[in-house]
Amino acid sequence: MIILNIYIILCTKKYIIDKTSLSDSKKEFAVVLGAGVTKDKKPSLVLRDRLDGAVILYENSLVEKIIVSGDHKGEEYSETEAMEKYLLDKGIPKDRIFRDNSGFSTFETVFNSKKIFNVKSAYFLSQAFHLPRLIYIARKFKIDSLGLKCNFHEYSKNKHRKWKAREFPSRIKDFFLATYYILTKKRLF
């Protein structure tokens, strides 16, 4: 298990960048993964950082379109609706925003990006701890991808520890999900 985690981290390291090292590498899409909304239906701080990363990419003409991917339970809870509204408020045109209402997990977001939106090249936006797994899956799906670290704020140390601890088994799970799909062309769920 430890070896798989190290392998995923090492083989994706060169594909993960931060906003200070943005090159002129253009991609078709920015893919923003959901990260929760508040009770008043606004993006959480973590999610706002990811969305702000998409705005930076769009404003610098590094992407043409933005996919917002997350949970959409309906009126009472919709990450994708909150994400779209946030981007519209930041001046992103509505016809440049695409909603993936079935992005319930990292694997499903990448799967949907490839199979539903036909993504060939993309920046995937998340926090640094999450990007190795995300980029590993994307590259297994033959998406020309870079991960943009969206750690623009300080998060609580407790939450950060919990996220990092959760990431260890999640990398292993998604390694096997991606491998199974690549070998069989079938999803396990």
Give pLDDT tens digits for 9-47.
Answer: 999 999 999 998 887 899 999 999 999 999 999 999 999
| Structure token digits, residue 164 | 């990092």
More confident residue, 141 or 77: 141
Q: Of 113, 79, 127, 110, whose CA–CA distance to 177 is shortest? A: 110
Burial of 39 (0-12, 13-18, 19+ CB in 10 A): exposed
Alpha carbon distance 17, 15 (integer Å): 7
Average pLDDT over residues 112-128: 97
- Which amino acid is present at 179? T
Cβ distance 106 to 14 under 8 Å?
Answer: no
The distance between the two most distant Cα atoms of the chain, rounded to a whole number of Å, is 44
Residue 189 has pLDDT above 70, yes or no: no
